[in-house]
Amino acid sequence: MLENHPSLRASAADAFRRLGCREVLEADNSGEALRLLQDRGPVQVVLCGLWLVGVEGLAFLRRSRGLVESVILHGWSPPELRQAALQVIRRVGLELLGEADTPLQPELLRELLGKRSHAAPQPNRQSFDCPVESAVRKGLTEGEFTAYYQPKFDIASGSVTGVEVLARWRHPTRGLLLPSDFMPVIERCCWWDELLFALLEQGLALQSLLKSQGYPLTFSFNLDASQLAVPGLDERVEARVRSHRLPSSGITFELTETAPLEHAAISLDNMARLRRSGFGLSIDDFGVGFSSLQRLCQLPFTEIKLDASFIRGLGTHPTCVAVIESTLVLARMLDMTVVAEGVETRAQHRQLLDMGCTQGQGFFYSESLTGLELTSRLAASHPVPVG
């Protein structure tokens, strides 16, 4: 239970216990809640007070992957904050049981918990069993983490314009693991740099090979906000790029928009240095958080990645169309590129093309590929399903 009002928290905890919950953990802020989850292990349900749905609350929901199975949102907040919370919940892969006003009604709580019980009478603990830290550290040390590549496409021509480099773990006994299986440990232990530079080395080697074969693709790597808070990031990145004799202009770093910047002065300096060195900077998940326009004004971004939730809303939610159209206009005025994430259908592709969006990414074009699969696809020049 994540609720800062003592009396509301006490009454809600009593309601949970009366409904048969074996153990109820209470926290009045997101930091305390994360510490409880890390110390006591995963839980089935989190009651999250909507007052927390700001930068702090979104950070909690984002970091709860692997520690929480389902969420009940509690209380009132402005519609735009509520919508941001719903988008983060979907992105992280949590099950949203529903929303409850204050004071919490036991009948409604019983109904919401019943939805979870009906969907999963026996909790599948394996679905959010995270590897222990020693296993992840061993995997990083022994090169078990491998790069996969999610292509970005020119929406009009169907040609591949670049790739986003994604992490996969070739576990010696569990097979290929997705980020949801190991990112909670990476995040908890702050091993972002170890993962980034492992992927950077693999990605740059492939980029150099593809360039020599006549495919000068842009490669994008994900950065966590905490990495920008450490001086010298630009120097370490530049050293790796120089060793592969690649131009910095062919490399972009994506920063997730919902992540708060730590040590703002150092972070701003790191970003400015990366831009001065010629690297591209992309604001990922654009539209999900609250600082989109502010960050565009303050930080030297070159690319906007529209969150997939807006693409899913095409054809059903006119507001999504308005957001996409206004973002495209804004990007043109700021001389920035827009990439539409999560394109999954022909109808979405067609509508984005009609709206003037030039780049897309998603399963309609391609799933993530190994380096060999990407190389083979480019060599075969298979047409992309457009039209």
- Supply the residues annotated as catalytic: 341
Give the tokens for residue 279.
């690297």
* Integer Rg of the chain from CA: 22
Q: Whole-angstrom Cα distance, residue 72 to residue 92?
A: 15
Q: What tokens appear for 17 in the block?
A: 């216990």
Of 23, 26, 22, give the one whose Cα is nearest residue 12: 26
Coil, strand or helix: which one is 139? helix
- In angstroms, the CA 387 to CA 385 distance is 7
CB 149 within 8 A of CB 143: no
Q: Phi and psi dihedrals of 45, rounded to 5?
A: -135, 140
> Which amino acid, one-letter code, is at 79?
P
63, 37 Cβ separation under 8 angstroms:
no
Contact 102, 74 (CB under 8 A): yes
Please spell the DSSP secondary structure of 275-329, one letter per residue: HHTT-EEEEEEETSSS-HHHHHHHS---EEEE-HHHHHTTTT-HHHHHHHHHHHH
Token pair recorded at residue 27: 């926290």
Which residue from 108, 68, 69, 55 is spatially nearest to 294, judged by alpha carbons? 55
